[in-house]
């Protein structure tokens, strides 16, 4: 009987969905840091120094990815308008993004996803499936990569870099 329970538990864990947090971190690559000899003819646009210049680059990346920028609720983030990222049979998922620069070297993108069903009720999603995360962030990741930001898939990558 105990073997059966362990086998059932093992099979059930293989069927569990893979969940992602509602944010993704990006690191400003060393190549994107401002240098005195930076050429304007490079393929990736270098990030300028300063918070205002970084904010302009992030807003441009959001617009390139097709997100509409709206006034933020907090002064230290860049917010987007709500956009539908998934349409199901009985529900839809809408999301908005908040981009928050962290320590001048990182940018965290928060995804605020809300599921609406056909009866009108809504619920905030506490996590994202891989498909929802890809639909919400793939265009943003590509636009940020054009500007020299590299996506960090796990906090461990950032921690390893900090200890190097």
Cβ-contact 139, 80 below 8 angstroms = no
pLDDT at 51: 72
Check whether 82 has a pLDDT greater than 80. Answer: yes
pLDDT grade for 90, boundaries at 50, 70 and 90: very high
Sequence spans of domains, the chain: 19-163
pTM higher than 0.75 for the full model?
Answer: no
What is the helix (H) or strand (E) element at residue 27, kind and residue range? strand 23-28
pLDDT at 99 over 90: yes
Q: What is the pLDDT of residue 54?
A: 84
Distance separating alpha carbons of residues 94 and 116, to the nearest angstrom? 8
The secondary structure of 76-127 as a DSSP string is T-EEE--EEEEE-SSEEEEEEEEEEEETTTEEEEEEEEEEEETTS-EEE-SS
Q: Over 50: is that where the pLDDT of 3 sits?
A: yes
Q: Is the pLDDT of residue 41 over 60?
A: no
- The pLDDT of residue 17 is 61
Q: What is the C-alpha to C-alpha distance for residues 79 and 88, in angstroms, rounded to an integer? A: 25
Whether residue 109 contacts residue 137, with contact meaning beta carbons closer than 8 Å, is answered with yes
Asked if residue 143 has pLDDT above 70, the reply is: yes
Q: Does 152 have pLDDT greater than 80?
A: yes
């Amino acid at each position: 009987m105990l073997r059966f329970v362990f086998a059932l538990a093992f099979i059930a864990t293989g069927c569990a969905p893979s969940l992602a947090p509602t944010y993704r971190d990006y690191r400003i690559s060393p190549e994107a840091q401002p240098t005195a000899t930076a050429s304007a003819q490079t393929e990736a646009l270098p990030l300028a120094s300063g918070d205002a210049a970084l904010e302009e680059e992030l807003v441009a990346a959001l617009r390139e990815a097709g997100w509409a920028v709206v006034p933020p609720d907090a002064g230290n983030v860049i917010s987007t308008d709500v956009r539908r990222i998934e349409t199901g049979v009985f529900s839809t998922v809408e999301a908005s993004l908040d981009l928050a620069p962290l320590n001048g070297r990182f940018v965290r993108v928060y995804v605020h996803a809300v599921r609406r069903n056909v009866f009108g009720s809504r619920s905030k999603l506490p996590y994202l499936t891989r498909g929802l995360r890809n639909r919400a962030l793939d265009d943003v990741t590509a636009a940020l990569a054009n500007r020299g930001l590299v996506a960090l898939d796990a906090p461990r990558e950032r921690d390893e870099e900090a200890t190097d």
